[in-house]
Amino acid sequence: MYDIIEKLRNSTIQHGPHNNRIYLIKLHEGDAPNILQAMDILARDNGYGKILAKAPASLRPIFTRKGYGQEATVPGFFRGVDDMVFMAKYLFPKRGLEKHKAQIQEILAVAQKRTNHNVGKSWEKRYTIRQCVASDTERMKSFYQQIFQTYPFPIYDAEYLIDTMKHNIRYFCVLEGKRIIALASSEIDYDSLSVEMMAFATLPDLRGQGGCIPVAFTYGKGNETTWNVHRLYHCQDSFFRHEYKMCKNGLQSCRYTEE
């Protein structure tokens, strides 16, 4: 069962049992602060453990007063003017506990020390890296089925992939001959002029070589002008209690925040 994307008042939310949460994807400013109560009711009725919201930093006090804590920020997200903050509220205390804090800190330390630019160039020499097209979707579907046991969106459906390609998602692949060995995608928000890089995936036997990240950063950054956007960002839910600050050139800084 996939999570639902629907309107709540004039805002867009995603919710369902897959992530057991409500995600406020796009907040209509006219809905604040009343939408917070509406999300509380929806979460209570469905037994969800978390509410996550993307909101302008200028509206942060509204969320804070309702029990939300900030988990990440993207400077200049809204057309290069206002910052965006990820605000989270945990309905069950255990949901807010970090079970793998030491492991995450170790991963972040390694990530901050490494640069992938040279690795990306070596991948370009050995493999083909390009944007995906409709004729790739059957192979993309099969690839995703190998990588993700579950996913909140129907990425195992070629028609879904084709439809999103026509609208606001760009997919990029690494090819070994005709075999897809890595995929990444970029979701464009034309209202905020931002792009979320997401769904990084590499075949297990080729992981650890830095192939997928260069795809997103090289081709994502290379298309900023074409897409007419100000910000590229990526946030992994498992790392949300580590505050991310993203900028045009990628990861600007990252620090752990106690919530």
Domain boundary among 96, 121, 154: 96
Please tell me whether residues 51 and 156 are part of one structural domain. no
Please tell me whether residues 109 and 224 are part of one structural domain. yes
Please tell me whether residues 124 and 248 are part of one structural domain. yes
Percent of the chain beyond pLDDT 90? 34
Percent of the chain beyond pLDDT 70? 74
What angle do helix axes 117-126 and 212-222 make, rounded to 10 degrees? Answer: 100
Total tally of structural domains belonging to the chain: 2
14-37, pLDDT tens digit by residue? 998 888 899 999 999 899 999 999
Domain boundary among 44, 77, 96: 96
pLDDT value at residue 252:
37
Domain that holds residue 236: 101-256
Do 228 and 195 meet the contact criterion of CB atoms below 8 Å apart? no
Q: Give the angle 256-39-3 at the CA atoms, nearest 5°.
A: 80
Structure tokens given for 242: 């580590």
241-259, pLDDT tens digit by residue? 444 444 333 433 333 233 2
CATH number of the domain to which 44 belongs: 3.40.630.30
pTM for this one? 0.71
88-122, pLDDT tens digit by residue? 999 988 888 777 778 877 877 776 776 555 555 56
Mean pLDDT, rounded, of the chain? 78
